Amino acid sequence: MMRLKNFGIALLGCGLFVLAACSTPTSEFGVYRQSDGTIGVHAPKDAKESEAQTVALAECKKDGKRVVSILEQRKTVNSNFPTTYLYSCR
């Protein structure tokens, strides 16, 4: 009886691990910083510029800055991230 209970607990733990490993990430945007302080945001296919701006603002807030301004929007050849936005923090 005890062995069956332990097996059930182990099976439940494995199932929860698989569900957690396959979940959607909280952010589908790729964020990077350039040496000049510019924030780059790689946006997924169906993302809006306002969503990319929100992600950039969150990155700027790490430095205590509260305003972002878009500098450039670039099309890329990457089918997963077809647009890159560049922002400056103020």
Q: Is the pTM of this model over 0.85?
A: no
Please state the rounded mean pLDDT for residues 70-77. 95
Give tens-digit pLDDT for 19-73: 444 433 436 899 999 999 999 999 998 889 999 999 999 999 999 999 999 999 9
User: Which pLDDT score, from 0 to 100, does residue 13 have?
Assistant: 54
The pLDDT-based confidence of 80 (bands split at 50, 70, 90) is confident
Determine the Cα–Cα distance for residues 79 and 75; give it in Å rounded to an integer: 10
